[in-house]
Amino acid sequence: MFVDLVTIFIKAGRGGDGRVSFHREKYIAAGGPDGGDGGRGGNVVFVVDDHMATLLDFRMKRKYEAANGEMGGTKRCTGKDGQDIVIRVPRGTLIRDAESGALMHDMSDDRPYVAARGGRGGWGNARFATPTRQAPRFAKPGQDGDARKVVLELKLIADVGLIGFPNVGKSTLLSVISRARPKIANYHFTTLTPNLGVVYVDEGASFVAADIPGIIEGAAEGAGLGHDFLRHIDRCRLLVHVVDVSGSEMRDPVADLDAINEELRGYSETLAGRPQIVAANKSDILPPGSDNLERLRARCSELGFPLYEISAATQQGVDVLVRAVWRALSALPPVTVYEDEMSVDEPPALTERDIQIEVRDGVYCVSGAWPEKVIQSVNFDDYESRMYFERVLRRAGVFDMLEKAGVQEGDTVDVCGCQFEYVY
**pLDDT tens-digit series, residues 3-58:** 788 999 999 999 999 999 998 888 777 788 999 999 999 999 999 998 888 898 89
144 and 165 in a common domain: no
What is the average per-residue pLDDT within 175-184?
79
The CATH number of the domain holding residue 58 is 2.70.210.12
State how far the Cα of 307 lies from the Cα of 276, in Å rounded to an integer: 9
Model confidence over 288-316: pLDDT tens digits? 888 999 999 999 999 999 999 999 999 99
In this structure, the strands spanning 307-309 and 356-360 are unpaired
pLDDT greater at residue 391 or residue 318: 318
Q: How many other CB atoms are there within 10 angstroms of residue 199's CB atom? A: 20
194 and 128 in a common domain: no
At residue 194, the pLDDT reads 79
43 and 116 in a common domain: yes
Domain carrying residue 385? 356-421
368 and 317 in a common domain: no
- Residue 402 resides in a domain: yes
In this structure, the strands spanning 205-211 and 103-107 are unpaired
pLDDT greater at residue 213 or residue 192: 213
Q: How many other CB atoms are there within 10 angstroms of residue 351's CB atom? A: 11
At residue 276, the pLDDT reads 95
252 and 294 in a common domain: yes
Among 330, 345, 380, residue at a domain's last position: 330
Q: Is 276 helix (H, G, I), strand (E, B) or coil?
A: strand
- Residue 252 resides in a domain: yes
Alpha helices, H only, 14-163? 57-60
CA distance readout (Å), 383 to 73, 359, 362, 394, 404: 24, 28, 28, 17, 28
The CATH number of the domain holding residue 172 is 3.40.50.300
CB-based contact 284:244 (threshold 8 Å): no
- Residue 336 resides in a domain: no
Number of domains in the chain: 3
State how far the Cα of 202 lies from the Cα of 198, in Å rounded to an integer: 12
273 and 130 in a common domain: no
Q: What is the mean pLDDT of the chain?
A: 86
Partners of residue 366 on adjacent β-strands:
357, 415
pLDDT greater at residue 214 or residue 87: 87
113 and 81 in a common domain: yes
Q: How many other CB atoms are there within 10 angstroms of residue 149's CB atom? A: 13
145 and 97 in a common domain: yes
CA geometry: angle 176, 177, 181, nearest 5 deg:
55
What is the average per-residue pLDDT within 131-151?
88
Among 134, 154, 174, residue at a domain's last position: 154
Is 380 a residue whose pLDDT tops 80?
no
202 and 138 in a common domain: no
Is 154 a residue whose pLDDT tops 60?
yes
- Residue 27 resides in a domain: yes
At residue 157, the pLDDT reads 83
What is the average per-residue pLDDT within 331-352?
75
pTM of the shown model: 0.77
